[in-house]
Structure 1
Amino acid sequence: MPAEIQTLGSLLRTWRERTDPKDAGVTGGGRRRAKGLRREELATLAGVSADYVVRLEQGRFRTPSAQVVAALARALRLSGSETDLLFRAANHLPPGPSTVAVEVPPAARRVVSRMSGQPLAVYTADWTLLYANRMMCALFDLPSPAEAVGENLVVRTFVDEVSSKIATPKGGNEVFERALVADLRLSATELGEDPVFQSLVTTVRDKSPRFAALWDEGRAAPHSAMVKTVHNSVVGDLTIDCDTLMVTGSNVRIILCSAAPGPDSEKLEALRARVLASAA
């Protein structure tokens, strides 16, 4: 492999041009003169500006933050080895056992692809969204799957204060907030030295006194099953079970939602029919 392909800019350009827009969740966009993602599309998926992507590819900026590198790796659907290479090209240590995993392992991908009928999402250990299917987006009034990727649940909960408007956990929002922070605290035992993880905790602590108070309590526990009443704009309120499935060999987790037989499952089925109709 020529040496120039190992630079950050050339790697980004090569991987952007090989990425199928449909695989990245990008639809439409009109007639394309070239294969792959456009710079504007990659920028949107990674949560940066198009000009920023241009400067990276042209080598005018070579030191993006680890958080940006992770977002670019997710947007480009890079493999583990490719993600490592991208991190090293940007002068960062690649993700490992003590860093936040930024890809869905192949076995988990197969599971996810077979469960498209149920609301499902995949999160990193710091609760950044790696993947959400259309049912999950419809249930929680999220943007399209492509637009939702990269959003952080901790930020949405404590900084944007959006989560409490779309779902109320059984026992009140405090139950969910405590569970979320306790899980993040547990992850800190393994990921506390990861700059991406550190940046998230520091940023949210500075912006949310509520998060800071819960963090300082020091409670650590894995996030488990939770019952929520979702305030859905299409089918109205419905009560669902949200289960957390940990992926073996990785620190990503799958969130799977379901409803018990009865009125709530009927509402979920009505939402599923609407999602299928919109995709037809």
Structure 2
Amino acid sequence: MAGVSVDYVVRLEQGRGPRPSTAVLAALARALRLGDEERDLLFHFAGAAPPQAGRIPMVVRPSVLRLLDRMVDLPALVLSAKADVLAWNSMAAALLGDLSVWPPAQRNIIWQRFLGAEPSRVAMNPAEAEAAAAFSVGSLRATKARYPDDPALSRLITELRSGSAHFEKLWRERPAAQWRSATKSIAHPEVGLLTLDCDALLVPDADQTVIVYSAAPGTPEFSALDLLRITGTQQFGPGIRNPARH
């Protein structure tokens, strides 16, 4: 669940491993579903400074993870303010693919949009793709305004600007865009093209977003999601995926 090997955890427990990085500590805190005070205590025990004010929250609180636990028939995932995929349920993996195959540094929706090698299952026409790209850049600009000193955000923006001419062009143009809940088309390799409602539920104090996909009862998409609940979760395993691979 934390995305580190069993051997690494054993060495940490025995006190013979290297001092864990703050990224590993954050991943362990998420996997253990620690609250803010417990997370800070973990950081102090490891000799690291807890996440500071002004940094993007990267720990999903236990109550939100419980919410994902209960969504057994709806794909759902949690995004950070800079679009990191922090947690997801089995239905999200069944619908969108196994998100754990993305390395932790690339487990970000915007990074995948501009720099990812694998095609997304989200099907868009050219106009929709350009609107999504503009929204992505606009949202990162808004996030940068809220968290000007967050080093991980600065690294992400630098990598995107240097690695994607399209991102750099949009960044210089300063597009303004606002997220609105909408329908999305998902090209699934087994059940075909699905048009689903996609709602963004804000967790205000954590500046995180829960993305939920659903379909109206009686529609082909509703039946397809029901099928994925049975077959897809057998493929990816039950429960919450939370987060990152070693």
- TM score, norm. by length of structure 1: 0.69
Percent identity reads 29
Report if aligned partners of 1:56, 1:62 keep a CA contact under 8 Å in 2. Answer: no
Give the corresponding residue for 1:36: none
SS in structure 2 opposite 1:118? coil
The 1-side partners of 2:59 and 2:146 are apart by: 18
SS in structure 1 opposite 2:143? helix
Is 1:272 the counterpart of 2:229? The answer is yes
In the TM superposition, what is the alpha-carbon distance from 1:106 to its structure 2 partner?
3.4
Report if aligned partners of 1:245, 1:254 keep a CA contact under 8 Å in 2. Answer: yes
In the TM superposition, what is the alpha-carbon distance from 1:264 to its structure 2 partner?
2.4
Higher-Rg member (1/2): 1
**1:189-246 alpha-carbon deviations (Å, 9 max, x no partner):** 2112111211111122221121222222223444331322211111011111211111
Give the corresponding residue for 2:160: 204
Give the corresponding residue for 2:122: 167
Give the corresponding residue for 1:81: 37
The 2-side partners of 1:92 and 1:197 are apart by: 18
Is 1:246 the counterpart of 2:202? The answer is yes
Q: How does 1:148-159 map to 2 (within 5 A)?
A: 150=104, 151-159=107-115
Q: How does 1:129-148 map to 2 (within 5 A)?
A: 129-143=85-99
The 1-side partners of 2:91 and 2:28 are apart by: 25
Report if aligned partners of 2:134, 2:177 keep a CA contact under 8 Å in 1. Answer: no
Which of structures 1 and 2 has the larger relative contact order (alpha carbons within 8 angstroms, sep 6+)? 2
SS in structure 2 opposite 1:239? strand
SS in structure 2 opposite 1:249? helix
In the TM superposition, what is the alpha-carbon distance from 1:133 to its structure 2 partner?
0.8
In the TM superposition, what is the alpha-carbon distance from 1:121 to its structure 2 partner?
0.3
Is 1:263 the counterpart of 2:224? The answer is no
Structure 2's unaligned 5+ residue stretches are 239-246
The 2-side partners of 1:102 and 1:115 are apart by: 21
Amino acid at match of 1:166: R
Structure 2 CA distance for partners of 1:57 and 1:259, relative to 1, 3 Å: same
Is 1:230 the counterpart of 2:186? The answer is yes
Residue of 28, 43, 62 corresponding to 2:4:
43
In the TM superposition, what is the alpha-carbon distance from 1:269 to its structure 2 partner?
2.2
Report how many aligned residue pairs link the two structures.
232
**1:113-158 alpha-carbon deviations (Å, 9 max, x no partner):** 2222100001111111111111111111224xx6569421122111
Amino acid at match of 1:103: V
Report if aligned partners of 1:124, 1:251 keep a CA contact under 8 Å in 2. Answer: yes
Structure 2 CA distance for partners of 1:222 and 1:54, relative to 1, 3 Å: farther
Give the corresponding residue for 2:84: 128
Which range is displaced more, 71-80 or 222-231? 71-80
In the TM superposition, what is the alpha-carbon distance from 1:268 to its structure 2 partner?
2.1
Structure 2 CA distance for partners of 1:92 and 1:208, relative to 1, 3 Å: farther
SS in structure 1 opposite 2:211? strand
RMSD of the TM alignment (CA)? 3.2
- TM score, norm. by length of structure 2: 0.77
Structure 2 CA distance for partners of 1:226 and 1:107, relative to 1, 3 Å: same
**1:151-210 alpha-carbon deviations (Å, 9 max, x no partner):** 211221111143x54112464311222222222221112112111211111122221121
The 1-side partners of 2:8 and 2:197 are apart by: 42
